[in-house]
Amino acid sequence: MDNNRIDHLTIVGGGAAGWLSAALLSSLLNRRNQGPDVRITVIESPRIPRIGVGEATTPSFRNTLKHLDIHEKDFLKSCNGTLKTAVKFVGWNQDANGDPGTYFHPFFAPGGVYGQSPAYHYLNRAQAGPVPKMAEMLTPGSVFFDDLKAPRGLDSEDYEGFVSYAYHLDATLFADYLKKFSIAMDVEFIPDEVVDVTLDSRGFVTGLTLEERGDIPVEFVLDCSGFQGLVSRKAMREPFIPFNEHLLCDRAIAAQIPYLDEEQGRIEPFTSATALSAGWVWKVPLYSRRGMGYVYSSAHTSDDQAMDEFLRFIGGGHSADEMRIIPMEVGRLRRNWVNNCVSIGLSGGFVEPLEATALHFVQNAIYWLTEYFPDKQVSPALADRFNHMTSGLYEEIRDVISLHYHLSNREDTPFWRAVRHEVPPPDSLARKLALWRCKLPSPYDRDGPYSIFNEWSYIYVLAGKGFFDGIKYPIGSVVSDDDFREFLEIVDRERSQLRTLAPDHAELMRQIHSADYTPWHA
């Protein structure tokens, strides 16, 4: 018997972060192992309510659910879920008439033009005169953006689609779903409050004191206690690095909003982010309602002013009594892995939810933890590599969100003037923007294997914000116009095929949500 082996993992906090961690750890460590299982215990407060706003995911989340052997249709039905093909940005830039512009960040990339990016040819066309927007011209995306088609069929195999896609889901229902899954996988559940944390002389966590059960020993702990950071922040006092030098939004109003009458029967297969005077509003179209919220800067509007603006935006006679105001601490811990504690989810850091990366952080943290899984000595080399990758991911997402603000051309409110002229972009983003004035983003520009955004994510957003206007790239004329015309013909055929094959998204969701399914493979 290996006395140095970690036999027991303790997760402090439930919610989506805690129960997704438990589910993944159970699957990765115990489902096919050759020795005794690693015990996994989740301690979840019975008193702390979950925030059940609409949540969205990135496309990689499909692989996580597939790995867990969860049946996709059952997941969608159980979590009030719908499908997501893109993020739609409204009003982040203005057109020549001062009207709100719109651009999409889809989850699928166009093919190449005989080894060269079709974006070069697109930009050459755009210099010569008006053309359709990039995502609509180079991909069959208008099938999903305009026709509201679904990215998979009713009879498709689980997790197989016409294009890459992600999900919209109810975070509270999702946490409950994973709780049932985890308990079925022999994860221990303790409903109790953590009232104290015991550290030894090295700063390792050796025990927790629970309100009802008293003292329990700890070998290795995952802090999933949200913004409280009960272990990492409060007990271990790990410093927090704020991102407020580059991101001004620090408050959010969250609400659950029924569909308007005119929206009945139309469920958009994309998330919307609409710019308002001091920030932006998210709309996550779930099956039975919308998850909505206003992310804003308290330095540029008061809570009352933000509430009034949000209520005017959503319409329908809602009141402030239905809303919650949530302070946001945007940034990350200096180290997410300290000694024998790893911070997962909000306890480790938070970046505003513009690109829906919260669950991506959780799943990646667990994959990386199992890749660098320690023994009881917890080698600093393992923690250092994990922390390097984690900080890199936080900073990449910070940069992408900063990009949306920094490249805005709006001048109509103090907030938009500030993010354009007064807030510096992070140095890492500034270097990339300087590079991309000389060449288009490519896979060679990515920061590492932990990168979440591919080159097309950047190209779509940069094009939508007019970054490429007036730029002539030296390599832009390498491939002939005939090749580009052939490429566009292929895209047109794909678009026509999808209009025939892809079902209406709302109709597909009605069929999925009205049937019964087996939840998962035990």
Q: How far apart are CA 294 and CA 279, in angstroms?
A: 7
What's the pLDDT score for residue 54? 65
pLDDT under 50 in the chain at which residues? 522
Q: Do 206 and 260 belong to one domain?
A: no
In a domain, 339, yes or no: yes
Q: How far apart are CA 86 and CA 90, in angstroms?
A: 13
Q: How far apart are CA 254 and CA 303, in angstroms?
A: 12
Domain span holding position 353? 8-52+167-240+330-395
Token code pair at residue 215: 């003292």
Domain boundary among 367, 395, 423: 395
Q: How far apart are CA 18 and CA 67, in angstroms?
A: 18
For the chain, how far is it from start to end, CA to CA, in angstroms?
28
In a domain, 45, yes or no: yes
The residue behind tokens 């009034």 is: 308
Q: Which of 92, 207, 97 is nearest to 465 (CA)?
A: 92
Q: Do 173 and 319 belong to one domain?
A: no
Q: Do 171 and 47 belong to one domain?
A: yes
Q: Do 256 and 313 belong to one domain?
A: yes
Q: Do 320 and 347 belong to one domain?
A: no
In a domain, 488, yes or no: no
Q: Is 259 exposed, middle or buried (0-12, 13-18, 19+ CB in 10 A)?
A: middle
* Amino acid in position 126: A
Torsion sign (Cα): 205, 211, 215, 220 = negative
What's the total number of domains in the chain? 2
Q: Which of 452, 453, 334 is nearest to 387 (CA)?
A: 334
In a domain, 90, yes or no: no
CA 46 centroid distance within chain: 27
Q: What share of the chain is helix, strand, coil (3-state, %, to 5)?
A: 40, 20, 40
Do strands 188-191 and 240-242 pair parallel, antiparallel, or not at all (unpaired)? unpaired
In a domain, 91, yes or no: no
Q: Do 341 and 282 belong to one domain?
A: no
**Could you tell me which residues come within 8 angstroms of residue 433 by beta carbon, excluding any fewer than 6 positions away?**
403, 425, 467
Token code pair at residue 295: 């992310």
Sheet holding 331-333, edge to edge: 240-242, 331-333, 349-350
Active-site residue 66, yes or no?
no
Q: Do 205 and 311 belong to one domain?
A: no
What's the pLDDT score for residue 50? 63
> 115 in the Ramachandran plot: left (φ > 0), alpha (ψ -120 to 50) or beta?
left
Q: Do 317 and 186 belong to one domain?
A: no
Q: Do 265 and 302 belong to one domain?
A: yes
Q: Do 310 and 186 belong to one domain?
A: no
Q: Do 339 and 323 belong to one domain?
A: no
Q: Are 381 and 365 in contact (CB under 8 A)?
A: no
The residue behind tokens 């899984």 is: 373
Domain boundary among 395, 430, 447: 395
Q: How far apart are CA 152 and CA 424, in angstroms?
A: 41
In a domain, 303, yes or no: yes
Among 66, 73, 77, 84, which one carries the catalytic annotation? 84
Sheet holding 341-343, edge to edge: 188-191, 39-44, 8-12, 220-223, 341-343, 337-338
Q: pTM for the complete prediction?
A: 0.95
Sheet holding 100-106, edge to edge: 100-106, 86-94, 271-276, 279-285, 290-296, 251-257, 324-327
Domain boundary among 395, 415, 430: 395
Q: Are 280 and 309 in contact (CB under 8 A)?
A: no
Could you tell me which residues are beta bridge partners of residue 8? 39
Could you tell me which residues are beta bridge partners of residue 284? 291
Q: Which of 453, 442, 474, 495 is nearest to 115 (CA)?
A: 442
In a domain, 380, yes or no: yes
Task: Supply φ then ψ for residue 289, to 5 degrees.
Answer: -165, 180
Q: Do 233 and 255 belong to one domain?
A: no
Q: Which of 457, 80, 87, 53 is nearest to 271 (CA)?
A: 87
Q: How far apart are CA 489 and CA 482, in angstroms?
A: 11
- CATH number reported for the structural domain that contains residue 48 in this entry: 3.50.50.60
DSSP string across 373-425: ---TT--HHHHHHHHHHHHHHHHHHHHHHHHHHHT----SSHHHHIIIIISPP
In a domain, 513, yes or no: no
Taken as a whole, the chain contains a residue count of: 522
Locate the DSSP E strands across 160-297.
166-170, 188-191, 194-199, 205-210, 214-217, 220-223, 240-242, 251-257, 271-276, 279-285, 290-296
